[in-house]
Each structure stands twice: as C-alpha cells, then as structure tokens.
Amino acid sequence: MKSSSLAGAVSPTIPVLVCALGIFLLSGMDAAMKVLVLAVGVYNTVLWRSMLATVVAGAGWSAGPRTLPAPSVLRLHALRAAVVGFVLLSFFWGLARLPLAEAIGLSFVAPLFALLLAALLLGERIQRQAIWASLAGIAGVIIIVGGQFGQTSHARDALVGTAAVLVSTVFYAYNLILARQQALVAKPIEIMLFQNLCVAVFLGLASPWLAIALPRELWLPLAGVTALSLAGQFLMSWAYARAEAQYLIPTEYSAFIWAIALGWLFFDEAVTWTTLAGAGLIVTSCLIAARSNPRLAEPIEAAL
C-alpha cells in the first residue's frame, strides 16, 4: 500500500513540510510533558496521559470496523506496552533533570541502537558504514556528557538524567523492533488503543501508593499533550506514506532546533557548545547509518 501511495506522489516537498510540522508538534509535546513532570512527577504525568490517550484512541477504535485481537497479538501489545512504559518513565524522568535540547540530542542515538538490536534479534547484517556511524554516535554522547563536568552546580543531577535518557533510548530501540512486528498484525488505531490501555493498567497497579488527583489547572496542559502527540503522529504517518524516507529522515533532526528554542523560551535553558557539537555528531552518524538500513530510520506509531 505504501508503494502505491509513493507512486502517486509527484514531489516530496509537501510531505517534507508536513513531516516538519509533525516534528514541531511533537517537540511542543516534549516541552509540555516537562512542565507536567516538574509539577506532579513522572509517574502521575505518564499515568494520566495514558488514561486520557486510551479514552481518545478507544473512541476512534469504536467508531470504525473492529475485531478483538487474537491472544498472540494481545501478548505482543502487552510486551510493547511494558517496554514503552519503561521508556516513558525513564526518558521524562531524565528530561526533568536535563536541558530540553540536551535530552533530545541524546535521544537521537536510538536508530544506532536499533541497528544493533536488528542484528541481534532479526539476524540482519550490519554494514561497515553503520559500525563507523555507531562509533561516531558514541563519541557524540561522550562530548555531551563531558561538557556536564564543567557545570558543578548540577553535575550530579545532569549525569543521572543523562543515564536515564540513554537507558530509555536503548529500550526505545527495542520498541522500534516490536513496533515493526506489531505493524504486520494490527492497524495503527488498535496499536494506539491497546498500547495506552496496557501502559495505564501496568502503571495503575502502583496507583494506591503513588497516584494523586491531577490539579484542575493541569488538565488543559494534559489535554494539550495528548492532542499534540496524536496530531504529530498523524502528520508524520501521512508524510511517510507519500514520500521516501531519504527525503524525510533529515527533517526529524529539526527537533533539536525546536528543543533549543522551546527550552530557552519556557525554561530559560542555555545551550552549551558541547551539546551542539555532540548532537551534531550524533545526527551525522544517524544519517550515515540510515543509508545502510533506511527502514530502521522510519518512524512507527510513536511511542512518546
């Protein structure tokens, strides 16, 4: 179906612009999530967002033709939801302790981890250029982490936050593998519903001890987070159905530019030269790696 859609595309210009808009919306979602995490903590933010997203996705799933997934598909949904839940908790926990641009820059190493996991789990052969790209990406991470040692006022918090973001990135790469398996057996609306439902159920097990009622003034930001996430996912899916990945992949790294602007505007965050240099090296390495396996650079129904 994707090939026929691409065959009808005359120019990638419109899909590129639509994809860039989707990335802008998802970058705004990250900034809004940071506001919520700082206000009520990562657990309650992810719990309430998952519950609201379940309601929205459930309405969409109920409105169209639907069938209950087979037990094997339900197990896949549950497995990915567990991975996604860990990704969300660790990434946004780290995001609360790092400048927005730094966290986004570090998260760009996910495609490199995905290449390695594809070799381990799917038996794919890693190209030599992907190996060199991975080493360059690691060097970029080292540059960013090295720059944190000069900031003694929050060095420990920054290093712990960096560790959390990198751990989330490893699991996010595994999530990409699972997402591709899901795409073969389920429609996007079903994936969105059961992923958010399972995350809400898993996190809900700890609600007697950790959950709090969301303050009234935070319901609007929560609704905004959900709307930005769904709109960003839709626009990126639309774009990737109408243009080749080689045209769209570079636009994904515009998220770093938006992170710099939003971090400065809402959190008064300055960007260091080490963050710029490290993120630039990571982005370059990912673009090189994407040429060796473009499939792993394409977005699936987004986990974040």
CA 245/CA 226 separation, integer angstroms: 26
Amino acid letter at 201? Answer: V
Tens-digit pLDDT profile for the chain (304 aa)?
Answer: 444 444 444 467 888 888 889 889 989 999 999 999 999 999 999 999 999 999 998 998 888 777 888 899 999 999 999 999 999 999 999 999 888 988 888 888 877 777 777 677 666 676 777 677 777 777 878 888 777 666 545 567 788 888 999 999 888 888 877 877 787 788 878 888 898 999 999 999 999 999 999 999 999 999 999 899 888 878 877 887 777 666 677 777 788 889 889 999 889 888 888 888 888 887 787 777 666 555 544 544 444 4
Tokens matching residue 250: 């570079």
- The Cα–Cα gap between 223 and 207 comes to 21
Burial class (CB in 10 A: 0-12, 13-18, 19+), 167: middle
Residue 5 has a pLDDT of 45
Helix axes 155-183, 128-148, angle to 10 degrees: 150
Burial (CB < 10 A; 0-12, 13-18, 19+), residue 237, is middle
Q: What is the pLDDT of residue 154?
A: 56
Q: Which two tokens stand for residue 126?
A: 């890693």
- Enter the pTM of the model: 0.81
